[in-house]
Amino acid sequence: MRSILITGGNGGLGLGIGRYFLEKDPDARVWLGVRSRRDKAEALAGEFGDRCKLVDLEVTSSEAWEAAVGRIVEEDGGIDVLVNNAGMHRDGLLATMDDEAWSSVVSSNLDSVFLGCRAVIRPMMSKRFGRIINIASLSAVLPPLGQTNYAAAKAGVVALTRTLAKEVGRSGITVNALMPGYIETEALSDMDPEAAKRAKAGIPMRRFGKPEEVAAAVFFLACQDAGYVTGSALKIDGGIY
């Protein structure tokens, strides 16, 4: 059995990653970290019974991380894979951005990754095995206007990933980041049709990515065969950058 924790387990990308593990790996036991809006996560858990469970997780709280990881370790005997997927946008120009818009985005996208990585390192070290996959964003290297907070946080995720990979490599733990571009999730659902058309025109593949295409990369980085891949930041963007 492989124990996998996915944060943001109630969103399109988190659910897509969870489903991919459950369908591709019969030994996978997926924990969906959720704070609210649990209906879709509960529906996925209902499909796979005891192989998929929900765990309460406020990703910006150290205490919540310790409780969630403690429960998983108690029930599964350890934790093998952490997918730091939770995050949020609050776009706006820096000149008019208030303190809360900055701090909330940095906290949910970067602090959460720090807290999650710290919470799983010791259980993974005790097994001398672990896979950490941090979901960053193409905005980390190709930020659009109005995303100073989000781009800074995601760039921080990439830097954290590369540094942590050096710290834990000798313990059999790999740490990698993914930088998705436009992916068909709820984050794009409110995009104006003309804006979507312009965005696709700027993508060499002329389409948005699918959650399962990101999930496939997560699945590879989490497998035994990816044991020599660490400190990487893989873009999944249809060739934009």
Give a yes or no: residue 146 inside a domain. yes
Report whether 33 contacts 231 (CB < 8 A): no
Give a yes or no: residue 107 inside a domain. yes
pLDDT at 186: 74
Least confident interval from 15-29, 37-51, 184-198, 205-219: 184-198
Structural domain count, the chain: 1
**Per-residue model confidence as pLDDT tens digits over 115-171:** 999 999 999 999 999 999 999 999 999 998 999 999 999 999 999 999 999 999 999
**Per-residue model confidence as pLDDT tens digits over 105-123:** 999 999 999 999 999 999 9
pLDDT at 223: 95
Give a yes or no: residue 6 inside a domain. yes
Give a yes or no: residue 91 inside a domain. yes
**Per-residue model confidence as pLDDT tens digits over 56-113:** 999 999 999 999 999 999 999 999 999 999 999 999 999 999 999 999 999 999 999 9
Give a yes or no: residue 241 inside a domain. no
**Per-residue model confidence as pLDDT tens digits over 173-190:** 999 999 998 888 877 767
Domain limits at 157?
A: 2-236
Question: Which residues lie closer than 8 Å to 151 by C-beta, 6 or more apart?
Answer: 137, 139, 140, 143, 144
* pLDDT, mean of residues 22-26: 96
- Provide DSSP, 25-87: -TTEEEEEEESS--HHHHHHHHHHGGGEEEEE--TT-HHHHHHHHHHHHHHHSS--EEEE---
Give a yes or no: residue 43 inside a domain. yes
- Residues acting as catalytic residues: 150
Q: 217: domain CATH number?
A: 3.40.50.720
Give a yes or no: residue 184 inside a domain. yes
